[in-house]
Every structure is written in C-alpha cells, then in structure tokens.
Amino acid sequence: MHPSTGPREVPLFHALIPLLVLIALLVLNVVVFGDAGLEGPNQLALLLAAAVAMVVGMFHGGTVEHLLEHAYASIRTALGALLILLLIGALSAAWLVAGIVPAMIHHGLLLLHPSYFLVAACIACSFVSLATGSSWSTAATVGIALMGIGTALGIHAGLVAGAIISGAYFGDKLSPLSDTTNLAPAVAGTELFAHIRYMLITTVPSLAITLLLFLVIGLWTAPVGAVEGLGPIHAAITGRFAVGWWSYLVPVAIILLIWRKVPALPALFLGILLGMLFAAIFQQDLLRDLADGATGPRAMYQVLVSAVGKGASISTGQPAVDELLSSGGMAGMMGTVWLILCAMTFGGVMEGAGLLQRITGSLMGLVRGDGSLVATTAASCVLTNVTASDQYLSIVVPGRMFAPVFAERGLDPRVLSRTLEDSGTVTSALVPWNTCGAYMSGVLGVATMTYLPFCFFNLISPLMTVLVAAIGYRILKVPVRTS
C-alpha cells in the first residue's frame, strides 16, 4: 500500500501540469500587465500554480497536511533571505541620507569613463564578491553605487545591472566564504578547495569572454558627451550632501565584517546603524530640510527612522539626479518579499507532491555519455531554478539525484560539483520569481528580464560547462566501485 501522507509515483504529464499552468499565467500577465506583473499578478500566478500542484499531489495519494508542511518548510528556508531583503532596503535608505551612496556616485563619475565603465564595474564586483562570498551583499553595497554611476553616465540600466550581476556571481561561485560554494561539493561528495580549483577550468574563460563583451559594447556604445555633461550632476550632489573621504568608512567596515565571516544579518544591521549615525553627524543640513526646518534630536530621529522604514527621496532640482537619490527603504522591499513567499510556496508544494523529482528524473532518459550527463544535470539545475524558485534546491535536488549516476560512470565528484555551480548557482538570478532574481531586481531597481540578456557570465557559465564536458577536456575519472 502507498503511504497515506506522501504521494504515489506521478506520471510525467501530471507532474508538468502545474508548471505549464504557471508558464501560461506568467505569459498572460506579461501580455496584460507588462512590467506591472510583479505588483501582484505574478504572485497570484505562483499561488494558483501551487494550488494546481496540490490538487495533483492529492490525486496521487498526498494529503493536504503533508503538502502544506512542505510549503511551510520551503518558506522557512527563505526567512533568512527575507530578513536580509528588509535590511537591504533599510541600508540603502540609511546610506542615501548619510551621503554614502551620493559620494560613491560623485567620485565614480570623476573616475570612470563610459567606454570602460562596464568592464570596471564587473571587475569591481568580482573582487568584492570574492572577498565577501556574497553576491547579495555585493549588489547591495557596491552594486547600488555602480547603478547610480552608470545611470548618470547615460548607460542602459540593463547593461549596468548585467555587469554588476556577472561580477557578483563570479566571486560568489569561487569564494570559499560563499554558501553555495560550500554546498555544491558537500552535496557531490568532494572537498571545498579541490572543487574551487576545478571550477577555474570553466569559470576563468567564462569571465574572460564576459569582460571582452562588455569592453566591446562599452567602446561602441559609450554615450557621446556623457562626461562633459556631468557638471550639473556633480553640482546637484555636492549642493545637497556633504561629501568626503569619511563616506567610505561605513561600506569598507561592512565589507570587512562580511569578509571576517560575520553573518550577513548583524553586519547589515550594523551598516544601517552606522549610516544613521553618519547622517546625524555629517548631513545635518539635509536632515533639517527633510524635517521641514525642524531641529533637535526628536526631529532628527523622526527623519532617520522614517527614511529607513518608508524610504526617502532627495530633491535637487535635477530630475535625473533626483531619480538616483531615492530609496524605498524597508517598505520598498515588500513587493519582493511577497514574490518570494509565493514562489517558495509553489516550490514547496511541487517538491512535497513529488512533481519536481518526477520532472528532473525523466531527464535521465537523455543520458548517453559523459557529455550528455553533464548537459542533463545542467538542464535539471536550470529547471529546478525555474520550478522550485530557489538556488539551494537547484543544487541539492539535482545533486542528490545525479550523484549515483556520476559514480556509476566513474566520474570524479568534482565534475558534478562544478556542474551544479556552473548551472544552478549562476542561473538563479535570471529567473524573475526565483529568490535570487527577485532580490537582484529589487535591490538594483531593474526588472529581471531587462538585465537578463546582459548577464553574460551567468548565461555563458552553463554553456561552458557543457562544452568542456562535450569535448572531454580534463574530465576527471575515478575507479568505478564494484559490488
């Protein structure tokens, strides 16, 4: 007899029904709502698809309690990410009124030329994410400033976000401080630094191609006269903010804390407090203006707390600059939080009903050799990112499923761990309803589908790992175990 709580074996077509419903609803939302799809329609689509998945699971023997518990468990895994999102919203607002982000924009405009800005942005984010092990922290600190600089230089927002995300995920997938860099070898059964060294075979060429593409685009599309027309922007920023070397003390301190393995939540919270403190010390004229001329500790506290919670917009008289000097605070992140909650509900029910496993398991029929095994694993990682909406599941589920197959074929576990990172980690930011895609879109203020074509590193990495396996270049083997 089948267990009363879990579902029975599900036919492939039945497993695909919720996914097809989700895709149809998302396409409909694009047609009807356009860019406003993330303001509610896509969240509802995820919940409706989750309801369909629950019906399919119950039809095959699952119970409501069993499926809901998986949904709750899936949401619990995202709670840390949700708290980080709220703190990032508060951090961006605190750093805005403290003059930190404006200072980065001001100085960045003095140093960076449009022709090589994209290359410089990608390299800068690569170094920061290598040092911190976090693509999220990189995007929330250096990335926010680079978005402002790129926008001021007149560069397409999708290009700037693509350069930031490409660099951030290069460091994320190679840094020993990264959670996914530790998770992939743990799932595959190999050692951390052996995994990192083996990833260089695919990661370094992917980054080299990415930088070359950004360089060519920068040289061909640099806005004419962008640098010459930056004078009013500099004047608008320095007219509203006190800008000095001290502006960089807070972001440097936070980056050092993360590099020293201080957890992200306390590090970001400290960044918020320091930002508020620096605002109170160095931006008193700005705070008085935001308080409609009121002075004193009460007015200052009210302005700072309101900015962190509800956001702030600084008026300079220059519309282009005003757009840069605004932040939604914690409230501005609520749409992204809502999206993640709905996405994790869908992914949890799909896994609890056995539908996710059935879809990825069906891909095993495509395996003919080592190259096709790697390609199938990579496709499973991407598919899991789309259906489960979480990069951790895109590593764990295919990793657990394909590990015995890799062992049976005599492939070293590093081949599997590299494939998981090259395909699961980096493509998570390319899915609008994935936690990473929603996060990057919310933090950088650019729609996922707008920056997706320009995330060259994230697009090239899975193709590179498949190509290397297909030509058999340095595919490590181990003795096949016999019973």
271 in any annotated domain? yes
Q: How far apart are CA 53 and CA 79, in angstroms?
A: 23
CA 410 to chain centre: 34
Q: How far apart are CA 54 and CA 66, in angstroms?
A: 10
The string over 294-316, giving b where at least 16 C-beta atoms fall within 10 Å of a residue's C-beta and e elsewhere, is: eeeeebbeebbebbbeebbebeb
Tokens of 100: 């930190």
Cα radius of gyration (the chain): 23
Residues (pLDDT < 50) of the chain are 1-4, 483
Tokens of 316: 């300079």
CB atoms inside a 10 Å sphere around CB 276: 23
330 in any annotated domain? yes
- The parent domain of residue 363 ranges over 10-223+237-483
The string over 20-50, giving b where at least 16 C-beta atoms fall within 10 Å of a residue's C-beta and e elsewhere, is: ebbeebbeebeeeeeeebbeebbbebbbbbb
158 in any annotated domain? yes
The DSSP result for 377-400, as a single string, is HHHHHHHHHHHH--HHHHHHHHHH
231 in any annotated domain? no
Look at residues 314, 331, 304 and name the one whose alpha carbon lies nearest to residue 442: 331
43 in any annotated domain? yes
Provide the pLDDT for residue 38.
Answer: 67
Q: How far apart are CA 366 and CA 368, in angstroms?
A: 6
Q: Which amino acid is at 25?
A: L
4 in any annotated domain? no
The string over 240-274, giving b where at least 16 C-beta atoms fall within 10 Å of a residue's C-beta and e elsewhere, is: bbbbeeebeebbeebbebbbeeeebeebbebbbeb
Total domains, the chain: 1
232 in any annotated domain? no
Angle in degrees, 0-180, between the axes of helices 41-59 and 334-352, rounded to the nearest 10: 10
What is the pTM assigned to this prediction? Answer: 0.73
Provide the pLDDT for residue 26.
Answer: 75
Provide the pLDDT for residue 481.
Answer: 54
299 in any annotated domain? yes
